[in-house]
């Protein structure tokens, strides 16, 4: 595969190295001269000096034949422009963009750029996973494919408590993939019993969260 990585910071350089290790052809584009002079001895012809939001730089990097374009600069507006140009001018289909500031995620959404990775967002989800406040935790979202993995704690008195997995009346588009119990992950079978306190991992089409909460988290009245 031929991959163009724009942004020669820590993420870019590590990505470039890993991709080359896996046997792919890579070009890394970095606009800062000083940073470039640090990268050049290590990467030689693989690194290009230039502003990856400029058409001639992308063309020099061979964007017309790139299988994948990855925009991981430290500036969200640059990552947005790179993604748009790659898609709309050069017709590239596989584009991954990095979002540094979570508040800019909505701009990526508005301009239909996906998948978008924000490390802050990922870490926040893990924090929620470690210390769930209440309700569902969204662990992972595959935006382009529109599918999520969520986690929910089974509360006492809920419909799912003490039932076997096969007895759970899940909505169409949901599937239980694991139970987390006592810091261990169990991949259940149909006859595995779900216990109060289990964290249930489900893969889900979006929009079904309410039905899931209703099944696994007890209704408000039961706390009377």
Partner 1 sequence: MFVLIVGCGRAGSALAKNLLGDGNTVSVLDESAESHRLLDVDMETNWEDAGGMFTVGTALEIDALVEAGIENADAFVAGTNGDNTNLVIAQIAQRRFNVPRSSSACLTRAVPPGTPSKACTRFVRPRRASTC
Nearer to partner 1, 17 or 87 (CB): 87
Q: Does 30 bind partner 1 (CB under 8 A)?
A: no
3 state DSSP class of 1? coil
- How far apart, in whole angstroms, are the C-alpha atoms of residue 168 and residue 52? 51
Taking residues 34 to 73 in sequence order and writing x for each that binds partner 1 by CB under 8 A, - otherwise, the string is -------------------xxxx-----------------
Among 93, 110, 133, 224, binds partner 1 (CB under 8 A): 110
β-pairing, 68-71 with 95-98? parallel
Quick one: which of 67, 66, 72, 123 has its CA closest to 97?
72
Q: Which stretch binds partner 1 (CB under 8 A): 9-17, 76-84, 126-134, 193-201?
A: 76-84
- How many residues comprise the chain? 224
Near partner 1 by CB under 8 A: residue from 11, 24, 35, 75? 75
Q: 85-104: which residues touch partner 1 (CB under 8 A)? A: 85, 88-89, 101, 103-104
Judged by CB under 8 A, does residue 76 bind partner 1? yes
Residue from 64, 67, 77, 145 touching partner 1 (CB under 8 A): that is 77
Are the CB atoms for 2 and 24 separated by under 8 Å?
Answer: yes
Letters for 111-140 (x = contact with partner 1 by CB under 8 A, - = none) are: x-----------------------------
Whole-angstrom distance, CA of residue 5 vs CA of residue 15: 8
What part of residues 199-218 is at the interface with partner 1 (CB under 8 A)? none
Q: Is residue 147 packed enough to be buried (19+ CB in 10 Å), middle (13-18) or exposed (0-12)?
A: middle
Tell me how far apart the alpha carbons of residues 209 and 173 are, in angstroms, rounded to a whole number: 11
CB 151 within 8 A of CB 198: no
Please give the residue ranges that form the binding site for partner 1 (CB under 8 A): 53-56, 75-78, 80-81, 84-85, 88-89, 101, 103-104, 106-107, 110-111
């Amino acid at each position: 595969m031929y991959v163009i990585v724009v942004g020669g910071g820590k993420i870019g350089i590590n990505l470039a190295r890993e991709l080359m290790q896996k046997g792919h052809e890579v070009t890394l584009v970095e606009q800062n001269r000083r940073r470039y002079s640090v990268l050049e001895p290590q990467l030689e012809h693989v690194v290009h000096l230039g502003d990856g939001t400029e058409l001639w730089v992308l063309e020099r990097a061979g964007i017309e034949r790139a299988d994948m374009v990855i925009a991981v600069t430290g500036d969200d507006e640059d990552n947005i422009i790179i993604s748009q140009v790659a898609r709309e001018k050069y017709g590239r289909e596989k584009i991954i963009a990095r979002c540094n500031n979570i508040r800019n995620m909505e701009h990526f959404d508005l301009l239909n750029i996906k998948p978008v990775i924000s490390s802050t967002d990922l870490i926040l989800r893990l924090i929620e996973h470690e210390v769930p406040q209440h309700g569902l935790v969204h662990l992972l979202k595959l935006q382009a494919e529109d599918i999520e993995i969520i986690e929910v704690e089974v509360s006492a008195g809920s419909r799912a408590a003490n039932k076997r997995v096969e007895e759970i009346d899940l909505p169409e588009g949901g599937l239980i993939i694991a139970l987390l119990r006592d810091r261990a992950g169990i991949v259940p079978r149909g006859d595995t019993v779900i216990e109060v306190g289990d964290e249930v991992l489900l893969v889900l089409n979006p929009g079904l969260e309410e039905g899931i909460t209703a099944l696994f988290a007890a209704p408000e009245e039961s706390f009377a």
